Chains A and B, each alone.
Chain A
Amino acid sequence: MNSRAGTGQPGANPWDFDGLEALECWTQSIRDALAAATPPLPPLGPAREHQEAAARLQQLLAEYLQHQSTLARHWASVQQEASTMVQQQLTATTASGDPPPTPRALYDLWIDCAETAFGRVARSASYAGTQAAMVNAFAKLRIEQRRQLEVAARQFDLPTRAELDGIHARLDTLTKELRSLRQRLDAGSS
């Protein structure tokens, strides 16, 4: 763990803070725990389908956390770059003999620098790819969660989203067919 932040040590980067590393440690520990929890052998017996589903859910959660962690590193680089830009501008201000900025001006400077830094990172293929991968992983995780919820709902004979979608799809097809027939009728009567 890096604990230089806020210590006042020369050269310490205020944005190289413990939080990010703590987050990475936390997500890694979850990944490790999930990996350890995964049975080494294929599931067997009457509950094998449920065990497989649980393993699938764990795997998808681990993938999502992995992408989230990578994206967090991009955000850390934004903060680091913005911090450097602020420092450079403040140094230039001091060197020119101008008075130090007001707290509000300093805040606005930080925002400008942060947006500039973010603009650069956000336009990189790496950031765009990681963000898309994270959203895709989240979508897959959500689909799996819902699948398992639907299994539980069926145990209680409750309707599910899949059933509703099926009905809506059928309704949509019927509506379009009805519209087409009406158009043909209208065309025939005019």
Chain B
Amino acid sequence: MRDDREAPRAGVPHGEGCSARELVLRDGKLTLWRYAPLAKPARAAPVLICYALVNRPWMMDLQPDRSLIRRLLERGLDLYLVDWGYPDGSDRFTDLDDYVNRQLDRCMQHVLEAHGLRSANLLGVCQGGTLSLCYAALHPERVRNLVTMVTPVDFHTPDNLLSLWARDLDVDTLVQAFGNVPGELLNLAFLSLMPFRLLHQKYVELADVAGDPAQLENFLRMEKWIFDSPDQAGAAFAQFIKWLFQQNRLATGSLELGGRTVELRRIVAPVLNVIGLRDHLVPPSASTPLKGLVGSRDYTLLEMDVGHIGMYVSGRSQTQLPEAIAAWLETRERTTPPPSARRRTRSKPSKRGSARKSTSATG
């Protein structure tokens, strides 16, 4: 709501990321941050980062030597970050339509107005990638290029353990019982995917680094992020579980938000899909079908030999991923017309495929 706007302010709030940023928009619990530049501007439109609802976005900017955001800034990208905040009881009825068509759209509109643009780049992470896919399908004219990282799109692949566990949940009763679904409950579900490693071995291994203050700080910083889990707005959570995990509506083209069908084939912007080959939360098989579902003829799959968390903080990701994203965006900026000048070039999904690093770019 307009009345909730706050004046911009700069700095690095304590314990929430390490890079300097400025608050440029606040709307209720939604905050849009803009990061301070660290290098000469790249030849690319601004990038709006849409993180998941289920964790805080600071994993993208954990500490100076483990910060995808900082690495992207060092390559000259102009970054904005959507911060969904912590839902409380008054957000019990906030639904997916609100998140995608109002809150995310509000952030995108702000970026476009601030830069006098008609379209900008959208980078969706994990569940935020799923929301970004919905947004790009419903508002294709505003998305110049789409990057999805560890993003589930087909929720019914056989190796998706979370999906299997969610299949028989009576989520309406769960939401009736809890209102907003506690972040702690979700965290327990995530940890239960590998209970012996994540609830036991990890802490035994802590003894190995206990004498090293720097490593101990890294561990504790990560620990703080893992357990800093916002509650999930009840209505949105119920929709996400039912429509995506249980009914797989995004992949089958039957998802509706705000009275409109989310047709992934309406995404004709170039797509870079980044997956973690060892991702146990979002298995590669859940992400790779994207190629056959979007309407874009410029689709690139980037496979990283990392797990879900490793995608944000591993040394390999720190060196390879930002460079790949920045180079991919700059190339599209030079070679691909913005959406306003673009016509849909394909109406039928293409065949699925997954090379180690494959591209079907035509632009």
Which of A's residues lie within 8 Å of B, judged by CB? 107-108, 111, 114-115, 118, 122-123, 125, 128-129, 131-133, 135-136, 138-140, 142-143, 146, 161, 164-165, 168-169, 171-172, 175, 178-179
Contact = CB atoms under 8 A, between A and B. Distances in A.
Given A136-B174, A139-B170, A143-B173, A118 B195 contact: yes
A128 B120 CA distance: 42
Contacts of A115: 194, 196-197
Given A136-B174, A139-B177, A168-B89, A108 B201 contact: yes
A161 B174 contact: no
B200 A111 contact: yes
A123 B159 CA distance: 8
Nearest to B175: A139
B93 A168 contact: yes
Contacts of A133: 168
B110 interface: no
Given A111-B201, A115-B194, A128-B167, A179 B177 contact: no
A132 B201 contact: no
Nearest to A146: B177
Contact of B169 (A108, A132, A142, A178): A132
Contacts of A114: 196
B142 interface: no
Given A115-B196, A165-B179, A136 B89 contact: no
Contacts of B164: 123, 125, 128
A164 B195 CA distance: 37
B194 A139 contact: no
B341 to A, nearest CB: 23
A123 B162 CA distance: 10
Given A164-B89, A168-B90, 17 more contacts: A108-B201, A111-B200, A115-B194, A115-B196, A125-B164, A132-B165, A132-B168, A135-B174, A136-B169, A136-B174, A139-B170, A139-B176, A139-B178, A140-B177, A168-B93, A169-B93, A172-B94
Given A111-B196, A143-B173, A128 B165 contact: yes
A150 to B, nearest CB: 13
B112 interface: no
Given A115-B194, A172-B93, A123 B161 contact: yes
B151 to A, nearest CB: 23
B45 to A, nearest CB: 25
B68 to A, nearest CB: 28
B204 interface: yes
Nearest to B95: A172
B102 interface: yes
Interface string B181-196: 0000000000001111
Interface residues of B, number: 29
Contacts of A111: 196-197, 200-201
Contacts of A135: 169, 174
Chain B interface main SS type: helix
Chain A interface main SS type: helix
A133 B167 CA distance: 11
Contact of A118 (B1, B92, B94, B196): B196
Contacts of B204: 107
Contacts of A140: 173, 177
Contacts of A128: 164-165, 167-168
Contacts of A165: 89, 92, 179
Given A111-B200, A115-B196, A139-B176, A132 B93 contact: no
A125 B165 CA distance: 9
Contacts of A131: 165
Nearest to B90: A168
A1 to B, nearest CB: 27
Contacts of B102: 179
B230 to A, nearest CB: 17
B180 to A, nearest CB: 11
A140 B179 CA distance: 13
Nearest to B193: A122
Contact of B1 (A122, A172, A175): A175
A138 B195 CA distance: 21
Nearest to B97: A176
A172 B94 CA distance: 8
B235 to A, nearest CB: 9
A153 to B, nearest CB: 16
A172 to B, nearest CB: 4
